[in-house]
């Protein structure tokens, strides 16, 4: 029994690039969705069983998420969902604000009608979502607006950096709940576009700055008392493991 040959069933235990991605996406999704609460411990053995994959695979994904700073890795003590402080959140928002100031500076030199049209089209979508009260779409489109601004520059480095910031802040809003009131940022987004159209850099930056300060002001520290470590099985209830062990 010691020298069992390990000829495990169908898929084989070897080489499955898609499996990594599936686990990665599942955990990432749970993180972004807010299903995984801050402070939750992500141990390898339970995850391995839940997803029906080897522990090594879980380990690799966990460390990858740690490298992306989406999980907090402590040597010999595993992975936890980070519990960002209010300062951390402010730091992310400030970084976004500073970055966008630079982006606008560069953009006013290269605006053309096509860009303005595209941005206006996006604003129309945002307004439509807000009008019909679709909060999820509003949040998504609201973030997408800033992505559009950066991507207008066509710089991969900057786009990646923004994506990093956004993914982190989207996790944070689930902790610091930017409240229930509507995003109400559409008008401010419109003001930015208008300033861009007029090639008025100073105004664009001022409006953008106001916009961020406005958003930041809505952050509030809920509580740090009841993070409540959840049951991982229920969090990932949706996933269908290849072969979960019987209970």
Partner DNA sequence: TAAAACAAAAATGTGCACATTTGGCATGAC
Partner DNA sequence: GTCATGCCAAATGTGCACATTTTTGTTTTA
Residues 6+ apart with CB under 8 A from 216: 90, 93
CA 143 to mean position of chain CA atoms: 10
Residue 94 in contact with its own copies, rule: CB under 8 A: yes
> Residue 80: what are its φ and ψ, rounded to 5°?
-135, 150
Write the binding mask 37 to 76 for DNA: x where contact by CB under 7 A, - elsewhere: -----xxxxx------xxxxx-xx--------------xx
Calpha distance 47→153 (Å, rounded): 40
How many Å apart are CA 200 and CA 192, to the nearest integer? 10
Select the span of 36-44, 109-117, 174-182, 197-205 touching DNA (CB under 7 A). 36-44
Long-range contacts of 162-167 (CB under 8 A, 24+ apart): 162/96, 162/99, 164/68, 165/92, 165/95, 165/96, 165/99, 166/96, 167/32, 167/70
Asked whether position 103 contacts its own copies by CB under 8 A, the answer is yes
Site string for its own copies, 26-65 (x = CB under 8 A): --------------------------------------x-
Q: How far is the CB of 9 from DNA (least distance, A)?
A: 10
**Which listed residue (9, 77, 112, 114) binds DNA by CB under 7 A?**
77
72 binds its own copies (CB under 8 A): no
Q: Which residues of the chain form contacts with DNA (CB under 7 A)?
A: 2, 4-6, 8, 11-17, 20, 42-46, 53-57, 59-60, 75-79
């Amino acid at each position: 029994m010691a020298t069992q040959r390990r000829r495990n069933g169908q898929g084989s235990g070897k080489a499955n690039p898609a499996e990594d991605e599936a686990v990665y996406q599942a955990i990432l999704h749970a993180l972004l969705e807010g299903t995984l609460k801050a402070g939750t411990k992500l141990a390898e053995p339970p995850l391995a069983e839940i997803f029906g994959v080897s522990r090594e695979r879980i380990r690799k994904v966990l460390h990858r998420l740690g490298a992306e700073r989406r999980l907090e890795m402590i040597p010999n003590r595993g992975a936890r969902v980070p519990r960002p402080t209010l300062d951390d959140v402010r730091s992310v928002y400030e970084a976004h604000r500073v970055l966008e100031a630079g982006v606008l500076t560069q953009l006013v030199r290269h605006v053309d009608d096509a860009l303005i049209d595209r941005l206006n089209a996006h604003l129309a979508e945002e307004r439509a979502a807000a009008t019909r009260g679709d909060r999820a779409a509003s949040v998504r489109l609201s973030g997408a607006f800033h992505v559009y601004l950066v991507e207008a520059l066509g710089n991969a480095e900057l786009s990646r950096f923004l994506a990093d910031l956004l993914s982190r802040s989207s996790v944070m809003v689930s902790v610091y709940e930017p409240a229930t009131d509507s995003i109400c940022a559409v008008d401010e987004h419109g003001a930015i576009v208008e300033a861009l159209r007029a090639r008025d850099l100073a105004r664009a930056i001022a409006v953008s700055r106001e916009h961020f300060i406005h958003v930041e002001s809505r952050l509030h520290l809920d509580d740090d008392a009841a993070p409540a470590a959840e049951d991982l099985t229920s969090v990932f209830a949706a996933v269908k493991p290849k072969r979960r062990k019987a209970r």
